[in-house]
Structure 1
Amino acid sequence: MAKAEAGIGRREGLMLLAATALAACAPPRPGGPAPIDLFAAASLREVMDAAVADHLRRSGQTVRATYAGSAQLARQIAQGAPADLFMSADESWMDWLDQRGLIDPSARRRLAGNGLVLVAPVSSPDAPVDLTSPTGLAERLGDGRLAVAEAATPSGRYGQEALTRLNLWPGVKDRLAPGDDVRAALALVARGEAPLGLVYATDALAEPRVRVVAAFPPASHPPIAYSAAPVRRRDGAGDPVAAQAFLDLLAGADGQALFRRFGFAPPPA
């Protein structure tokens, strides 16, 4: 994980600190319980926005969500950022926090799965990309670059593993356009600044300006697992019981139905 930690830059950390400060300044619901501070992987934005709204209707409790790459969020939590609940796009950054005693391991839950796809701008030719052929991928890239999340992020690692197992990595490793997280990679394709991007299947559903041109076989990468756990805040603030209640909602039947509605797969066993 040391190599992954090195991939988190000063600029990205400052941007996340600013976003966290803005979320912390959001006023709680008048007369309601104290808000829950949620740090969630960028690819969870749409489903978590819906879950947050549902939780507010049910309980009257506000959830203040901060979205970024799992690596950035985990590093910020380790530095004392005020998070009550962490949701990671893979297990490794959750393990990293667990090793530092910063999450409640007994309450840790796997909530959802996902897949990897290759996307292109909707204005590009509506033709699939053959992932069994390095030549086919190179021809579709043309003079452009493959948009990916940077290597420290879960999607960046999943993507590199998939490209390596399919023998595509040697042909693209010097032709990457890395973004801070998977949504940054998605945005490059959506704006037409990259001819192809490697993102989660749910990201493609959330962005109408891209189309899926290939789906990576599940066997080409480790199972994609989103896990969540309450954070043991160093400042002693927060409400662990409230954070656990929101996590229970996500893990329950209604929460799981919400994940399915936004295109997520069941959590890997």
Structure 2
Amino acid sequence: MKRQRFLVLITLLVLAFSLSFGMRSLNPLAAIAQSNTQLVVSAADSLTDALKELAPLYRQVRSNVTVRYNFASSGALQQQIENGAPADVFISAAAKQMDALQQKNLLVAGTRRNLLTNRLVLVVPRKTSGISNLKSLTDVRVKRIAIGDPRSVPAGQYAEEALTKAGLWNQLKPKYVLASNVRQVLQFVAAGNADAGLVYLTDAKTTDQVKIAQTIPSNLHSPIIYPIAVLKNSRNPTASRDFAQFLFSGTARKVFEKYGFTAT
């Protein structure tokens, strides 16, 4: 009799364990909550301030998940990912770089979404006068114009498009100072090492050392879209999806809008 009771007890314990394990398998968020996880998010430089502010807010939701950022130009990040650099989530400042990764089957299917939009602006040092629009850049007093390198920096690609449509690209070529990312463009202008520069509205808002001379008409360049996706080489795809979803939350939207982005 005692042996039968013992066997029944063992059976019940095994069943309970199996059910518990099964529930965790069915609920991926439960799995996230039960292990310490580190995510690597490769994101365009222009997202630096907003994403840094969002990290502790996400930590309040997932206390065991640590988000580590890798900020650079979207083109540089694309190359890193293609070369096998560890990353879980990619946020680009243009569709071009995300398209390239998608064509190489490096994104988790169904995770790519458009997260944000931005505007392109012409900025000048705070005390500068006489530069009010793109046409002003042809003035002989304007010697140096900072833009992101169009070969790898989306802000530079948008700048090239705008100046080309305005009929100014070739005329201004001798004046260009090419930067490796959009934040470097901003630094050149803020330090007075360039007479003007083309950056995102969100970058211009981060310093009082520059002022906006013109918001570039959106019909002069492609829409400035920030797509996001989970990467196939992610070691934590479930946590990566959860973080990506958090960036579409009301909490994240408020932070993004604070920095000048517009949620899609």
Under a length normalisation based on structure 2, what TM-score does the superposition of the two structures give? 0.83
- Matching residue within 97, 101, 106 for 1:102: 106
Query: Which residue is equivalent to 1:81?
Result: 85
| Mapped pair 1:149 → 2:148 | yes
Go from structure 1 to structure 2 and tell me whether the alpha carbon gap of 1:174 and 1:223 turns closer, same or farther (over 3 Å shift). Answer: same
| Mapped pair 1:262 → 2:259 | yes
Report the Cα distance in structure 1 between the residues aligned to 2:109 and 2:161, rounded to whole angstroms. Answer: 27
- Gaps of at least 5 residues in structure 1 are 1-30
Report the Cα distance in structure 1 between the residues aligned to 2:42 and 2:164, rounded to whole angstroms. Answer: 30
- Matching residue within 59, 63, 66 for 2:62: 59
State whether residues 46 and 203 of structure 2, in contact with CA within 8 Å, keep that contact through their aligned partners in structure 1.
yes
**Once the 2 structures are TM-superposed, how far is the Cα of residue 171 of structure 1 from its aligned partner?**
2.0
Query: Which residue is equivalent to 1:249?
Result: 246
State whether residues 111 and 256 of structure 1, in contact with CA within 8 Å, keep that contact through their aligned partners in structure 2.
no
Q: Which runs of 4+ in 1 moved over 4 A?
A: none
State whether residues 41 and 87 of structure 1, in contact with CA within 8 Å, keep that contact through their aligned partners in structure 2.
yes
Query: Which residue is equivalent to 1:114?
Result: 118
Identity score, percent: 33
Query: Which residue is equivalent to 1:18?
Result: none
**Amino acid corresponding to residue 178 of structure 1 in structure 2:** L
- Gaps of at least 5 residues in structure 2 are 1-33
Report the Cα distance in structure 2 between the residues aligned to 1:51 and 1:103, rounded to whole angstroms. Answer: 23
Report the Cα distance in structure 1 between the residues aligned to 2:99 and 2:47, rounded to whole angstroms. Answer: 19
Query: Which residue is equivalent to 1:130?
Result: 133
**Once the 2 structures are TM-superposed, how far is the Cα of residue 41 of structure 1 from its aligned partner?**
0.2
**Amino acid corresponding to residue 191 of structure 2 in structure 1:** R
**Amino acid corresponding to residue 100 of structure 2 in structure 1:** W
What do you get for the CA RMSD once the two structures are aligned?
1.6
Report the Cα distance in structure 1 between the residues aligned to 2:112 and 2:89, rounded to whole angstroms. Answer: 10
Q: Which stretch of the first structure deviates more once superposed, 141-150 or 219-228?
A: 141-150
Q: How many residues align?
A: 229
Deviations 1:116-141 (A, max 9, x none): 1111111323x55133x3xx2222x6
Query: Which residue is equivalent to 1:168?
Result: 168
**Once the 2 structures are TM-superposed, how far is the Cα of residue 143 of structure 1 from its aligned partner?**
5.0
Report the Cα distance in structure 2 between the residues aligned to 1:197 and 1:107, rounded to whole angstroms. Answer: 34
Report the Cα distance in structure 1 between the residues aligned to 2:114 and 2:104, rounded to whole angstroms. Answer: 20
Bigger Rg, which one: 2
Report the Cα distance in structure 2 between the residues aligned to 1:118 and 1:256, rounded to whole angstroms. Answer: 25
Report the Cα distance in structure 1 between the residues aligned to 2:44 and 2:156, rounded to whole angstroms. Answer: 13
State whether residues 109 and 251 of structure 1, in contact with CA within 8 Å, keep that contact through their aligned partners in structure 2.
no
Go from structure 1 to structure 2 and tell me whether the alpha carbon gap of 1:259 and 1:124 turns closer, same or farther (over 3 Å shift). Answer: same
| Mapped pair 1:47 → 2:32 | no
Report the Cα distance in structure 2 between the residues aligned to 1:37 and 1:94, rounded to whole angstroms. Answer: 17
**Once the 2 structures are TM-superposed, how far is the Cα of residue 214 of structure 1 from its aligned partner?**
1.1
**Once the 2 structures are TM-superposed, how far is the Cα of residue 184 of structure 1 from its aligned partner?**
0.9
Query: Which secondary structure does the structure 2 equivalent of 1:118 belong to?
Result: strand
Query: Which residue is equivalent to 1:219?
Result: 219
**Once the 2 structures are TM-superposed, how far is the Cα of residue 32 of structure 1 from its aligned partner?**
6.1
**Once the 2 structures are TM-superposed, how far is the Cα of residue 52 of structure 1 from its aligned partner?**
1.2
Deviations 1:134-159 (A, max 9, x none): xx2222x6252110000122111111
